[in-house]
Amino acid sequence: MTETDPATRLRSSCELYLPGDPGYDAARTPWNLSVDLRPAVVAVPRTVEEVADLVGDAGRAGLRVAPLSTGHGVGPLAEQDLDDVVLLRLSELSGVSVDPVARTARVIGATPWRDVVAATAEHGLTALHGSAPDVALPGYVLSGGLSFYARRHGLAAGSVRAVELVTADGELVRADATEHPDLFWALRGGGAANFGVVVAIELDLLPYADVYAGMLLWDRERAPEVLAAWAAWTRTAPETATTVLRVLSLPPLPQLPPFLSGRDLVIIDGAVLEDDEHAASLLAPLRALEPEIDTFGRIPAAELLDVHLDPPGPTPAVSDHTVLGPLDDAALAALLGQVGPGTSSGLTVTEVRHLGGALARPGPAGGALSALPGDYSVFCIATAPTPEAAGPARQAAATVVAALAPWSVPGLVATFTERRVQASRLVDGEDWARLAALRDRYDPARRFVPNHAL
């Protein structure tokens, strides 16, 4: 690093790491360990003031800024040139305050869902959280956000009441339905990093202290009948039921419980927002298949975060994704031909998530993304413990997606899109044009580096 390099002209008071500094490698490493980020600088602010100072300072130094919370879906960022980029890690900026009367929460910075749900649970409330406890709120919720409450309550972006962010000129702005309403619209689904650095979000909460939820587990040899039964069940399931079917091929790892380690499995998990008797009645056709494990029952709402069995810590993985229309017999056969009994796809997880219901209905006061296309989302994940493994793993995921192409519909789910795409694939065409115009207004010099550019 030379004295004339713009990175040396940063005057921010927050922690800064340059290449070669002790701590640079740790600071640049995201949750997804297969992604190699090498920015010009890594900055770790601890206050909103430090974020604002850093953004202004970076602009004067001729550097761009890429906000990063945890780095779960950071793949698209790694596909871009980061030689003039400050990676702004928000992991030290966190906090939750709950208003139980208004049923709202204000969440600061990169607070993970585990902290948000724990804080709201104290008041008998919860949120439209995802399935992983350590995912931070901003990227998830402002990219749409699919929860186990989604078919009843829609995308998590629809629960956002206000967003506080630092704009390209270093100004702290609050966007809501009355103040900066155009920006408020854009942030809810338009890729927050296209417009600034989000430092706080206020969102509506759900009045659930407990929920009927859990999982059903079978050996993968049962996949043909389980998949057929679940697909038929979803065609008539009420909006109160949001479920996911997954085919897992897990390595024999000591940190996995015995019922998972080294096994090929098929699992159905999710939540049913009904009383116990009605929920049990709805699940009866699936339980008739006599699962090896059945954990469905009434649980505290905070425990819903643990139902999906997401990895408890950073993991190296690559993925691919598509959205499907109806799952007919041919579609089921195509999927089973890739990941069913006797196959060896190379994938760790193949997830089919039931969409529809409230997810299919645009909200009248919604943002740039208030509904999703299709009936099912497919998310294929392969572990990539070494750089050499990433290519074959990515191809394994792409092969399954390609096999399902005849049943795919236009559009993608942003939170599952871990490769760089034009934002026009994530929002409707007219909305994309409006988003692009707003980005021209709020970041004309393209100081911010989003995952998916407008």
DSSP string, 69-109: SS-TT-HHHHTS--TTEEEEE-TT-EEEEEETTTTEEEEEE
For residue 110, CA distances in Å to 69, 71, 94, 96, 247 come to 5, 10, 6, 10, 31
pLDDT tens string 335-373: 999 999 999 999 999 999 999 999 999 988 899 999 999
Residue 300: count of CB within 10 angstroms of its CB: 15
- Whether residue 55 is predicted with pLDDT greater than 80 in this model: the reply is yes
**Residue 48: predicted pLDDT:** 95
Please give the share of the chain, as a percent, with pLDDT higher than 70: 98
Residue type, 194: N
Residue 89, exposed/middle/buried by CB under 10 A (0-12, 13-18, 19+)?
Answer: buried
Q: Please give the backbone phi and psi of residue 195, each rounded to the nearest 5 degrees, phi first.
A: -125, -15
pLDDT digits (tens, 9 = 90+) for 408-451: 999 999 999 988 887 778 888 788 899 999 999 999 999 999 98
Predicted local distance difference test score (pLDDT) of residue 10: 79
The tens digit of pLDDT for each residue in 123-143 reads 999 999 999 999 999 999 999
For each of the domains in the chain, give its residue range(s) and CATH number, in order of start. Answer: 7-89 (3.30.43.10), 94-207+427-440 (3.30.465.10), 210-416 (3.40.462.20)
| Single-letter residue type at 426 | L
Mean pLDDT of 238-249: 98
Strand bridging mode 210-219 / 104-109: unpaired
Question: In terms of Cα–Cα distance, which of 153, 128, 123, 125 is closest to 142?
Answer: 128
Q: What is the pLDDT of residues 379-415, one digit of tens each?
A: 999 999 898 999 999 999 999 999 999 999 999 999 9
What does pLDDT average to over the chain? 94
* Res 32 pLDDT > 60: yes
Interhelix angle 223-234/329-339, rounded to 10 degrees, is 140
Selection from 85, 363, 356, 115 nearest residue 235 by Cα: 356
**By mean pLDDT, which of 71-80, 141-150, 214-223, 420-429 is the weakest?**
420-429
Report which residue type is found at 216. L
